[in-house]
Structure 1
């Protein structure tokens, strides 16, 4: 990790569009490398919607590489499985009886040391990132602008001019889009009539609930109730993992073949529909979901089609703005953290030069050459994950088929967790520097 003099930091001025987890992780990484930045957020404050994010070993490593103290702070605040089960990512159980196997039986434990299942509340993590980026108090708040809805971008030889809905204009050496699946930057970069401009329905969605351990323990017993679980079922799966010392996040994912007919992606009060989807499931999962009074249904979306490049001129998409993915590999937030680290490293290399158009292009090109194959493979695994978790019961289940499924599951996501992220950054820096001197 390099750092730069104040003079170099002033030469490279980075605009971060979006003050969510990805944007603030990039802000932390840039601050650690003494690179100038400013975060532009459409809301009036830094807030995150959602219960929590579950990370694996690769994401913990990304936190540590972004900022060593950030990794340790995450460890201190994360909710985990019980002490004797902390290396477990998920216990895999049957959501309905199969021949000699009973409903709810554990058939495998998927291991992901040293983190196992590790989760924090999204908003708590966001506040930690804002603090580490120096955006909470004092002069650091000048690095953040709120109620800033981006409506225009103009690439020039000298930089990027950003125009906002409030009528103001600002300039930067480079713009990094961290504005999520509904990215304004993506819509400005890509032909709005292109399939790549709009996310598409994944043909699956989840009923979600936050359930107290106390009730789950009465139903399942203390160990199962406090350990992350996946229940395989007919045309779907149920996932549950701790998000605090008292609460378990639960989601029942099911198929919804065809197009999504609604404008909104979240439908409230879906108990009746959930009961229809639970037909064929065993008593264990049905009893768990009975604890959810009237859960909402979240329709999964992601970018089915990608543009030729995720960068253009001095503008680059990262995180969900580039590669939003379904949650079936538990890796969306993790890939955003990896993006933030590698982007900060190549921009750190770019800061060694004057921020000419050619040097910025070298940095963004090097970033994409290294990162895109990685995150596109993870997106593919995330899409396939819905099939992997939900197809066991599609045909009669034999002992041989169950054994084969378990063996594949144990190694399915290891390429995500066991990855040389520091090596990625090193290759990206070397590529950027080679391009810059040509």
Structure 2
């Protein structure tokens, strides 16, 4: 084994992005994936300005490659993140009326199919450094590094471990312990009725303009989101109500929830009812996230990143971007570790630099993502005033600009500076 070897647990979008970043920096690594292949479930994933910039910093060719995979809004609306509209009549405002266009140049609402993006990342990372059917069950550490214990009774050893194994992170559980309140993701008190609808069907129902451009509808006690996917052939739709009662089910997805959806959105306007009419019998997905965060994202030679570190509700479309920022910053720090004679002091300094820069920002994004559900669902009433619309428009720009337009390369420089200062002590 090389003197410096990085183990990456979890071969999802975050883990493979780390792998590409390490490969480009000539750092030896192995990806350990619990499944038999690299596979991502789900449909579209949003790529905002910060996520695209992080991909470019990870690998300069990734940005252009992702552009080729992505679906964007209709011509002339490419820089629109979402058009935000009334989901029901309100005073002088009619159903479907445009409240504002929230702009996010240069990406707008770029979407890519999760599995298509994963296959691109897997190709760039290289399958030769992947080990499949490796379900992590335990970790142990000593002065030489980390030993990974898998369900198939095999083991692997590495200098450091980067845990990117998602919201159900086995590495997080191994580090924190099963009884720690920060270990398990908990129900968020909300969820979504989800469906994928053919673009032609939705266009016939509500018109091409709204169907072809990403939309958010605000109405009584909920919000509706939809955006084009698969090069504009289909539309991903999510109806987001509160469901505050406790979630006792083991599964997070309930199939066949049309009756419940119609009940929750009965008081909405004609446009949303037309969308419901073409959704079939959708499932309800109960969102979960880590409501309690660990005191540290680092334990010895183990570092948590992505959803393993800071899972969050999707109400700002920010989870993927935070994972990519993590991947870039940790790779830049690891590139500063002596690869022939890595010592604990260097690793400690690198991880402290990572945590000093990334923990506060990702925690703030996670917190505001939870708060955004209240913001989206709290806008509507039966007579929304002009003053409230003006306030909402100002808040919209404030709520997203700091997420989209942070200096990601500057994050890495700050983390490296902290690392270097610690090593000078």
TM class by smaller structure: over 0.9
Per-residue CA deviation, residues 269-295 of structure 1 (Å, 9 max, x unaligned), is 111110111121111011102111110
Per-residue CA deviation, residues 203-231 of structure 1 (Å, 9 max, x unaligned), is 11000111111011111222211100000
2:83 touches 2:98 (CA, 8 Å); kept in 1? yes
What is the RMSD of the two structures over their aligned residues, measured on CA atoms? Answer: 1.3
Q: Which residue of 2 aligns with 1:138?
A: none
Q: Which one of 257, 260, 267 corresponds to residue 273 of structure 1? A: 260
Aligned equivalents of 1:131, 1:357: Cα separation in 2: 32
Q: Which one of 67, 78, 88 corresponds to residue 80 of structure 2? A: 88
* TM-score, structure 2 normalization: 0.98
Q: Which residue of 1 aligns with 2:150?
A: 164
Query: Does residue 54 of structure 2 align to residue 55 of structure 1?
Result: no
Q: Which one of 186, 194, 219 corresponds to residue 200 of structure 1? A: 186
Aligned equivalents of 1:111, 1:25: Cα separation in 2: 27
User: In the superposition, relative to structure 1, how do residues 415 and 422 fare at CA in structure 2: closer, same or farther (>3 Å)?
Assistant: same
Structure 1 residue 353, shift from structure 2 partner: 6.8
SS at match of 2:317: coil
Superposed, which structure 2 residues align to 1:272-291 within 5 Å?
Answer: 272-291=259-278
Per-residue CA deviation, residues 278-329 of structure 1 (Å, 9 max, x unaligned), is 1211110111021111100000111111111011000011000000000000
Aligned equivalents of 1:220, 1:396: Cα separation in 2: 24
Q: Which residue of 2 aligns with 1:4?
A: none
Q: Which one of 393, 404, 407 corresponds to residue 380 of structure 2? A: 393
Q: Which blocks of at least 5 consecutive residues in structure 1 are unaligned? A: 1-8, 136-140
Q: Which one of 103, 115, 122 corresponds to residue 123 of structure 1? A: 115
Q: Which one of 209, 213, 217 corresponds to residue 203 of structure 2? A: 217
SS at match of 1:11: coil
Aligned equivalents of 1:169, 1:134: Cα separation in 2: 22
Aligned equivalents of 2:372, 2:47: Cα separation in 1: 16
Query: Does residue 11 of structure 2 align to residue 19 of structure 1?
Result: yes
Q: Which residue of 2 aligns with 1:230?
A: 216
SS at match of 2:409: helix
Q: Which one of 237, 252, 255 corresponds to residue 242 of structure 2? A: 255
2:169 touches 2:308 (CA, 8 Å); kept in 1? yes
User: In the superposition, relative to structure 1, how do residues 378 and 353 fare at CA in structure 2: closer, same or farther (>3 Å)?
Assistant: farther
Structure 1 residue 398, shift from structure 2 partner: 2.2
* TM-score, structure 1 normalization: 0.95
Q: Which blocks of at least 5 consecutive residues in structure 2 are unaligned? A: none
How many matched pairs? 424
1:349 touches 1:433 (CA, 8 Å); kept in 2? no
Q: Which residue of 2 aligns with 1:432?
A: 419
Q: Which residue of 2 aligns with 1:323?
A: 310
Aligned equivalents of 2:115, 2:275: Cα separation in 1: 26
Aligned equivalents of 2:291, 2:182: Cα separation in 1: 7
Q: Which residue of 2 aligns with 1:363?
A: 350
2:46 touches 2:109 (CA, 8 Å); kept in 1? yes
Runs of 4 or more consecutive aligned structure 1 residues displaced over 6 Å after TM superposition: none
Per-residue CA deviation, residues 253-281 of structure 1 (Å, 9 max, x unaligned), is 11011321211111111111101111211
Structure 1 residue 131, shift from structure 2 partner: 0.9
Per-residue CA deviation, residues 111-165 of structure 1 (Å, 9 max, x unaligned), is 0001000011000000000111122xxxxx2x11000011111111111111111
Structure 1 residue 415, shift from structure 2 partner: 0.4
Structure 1 residue 394, shift from structure 2 partner: 5.3
Aligned equivalents of 2:294, 2:110: Cα separation in 1: 33
Q: Which residue of 2 aligns with 1:6?
A: none
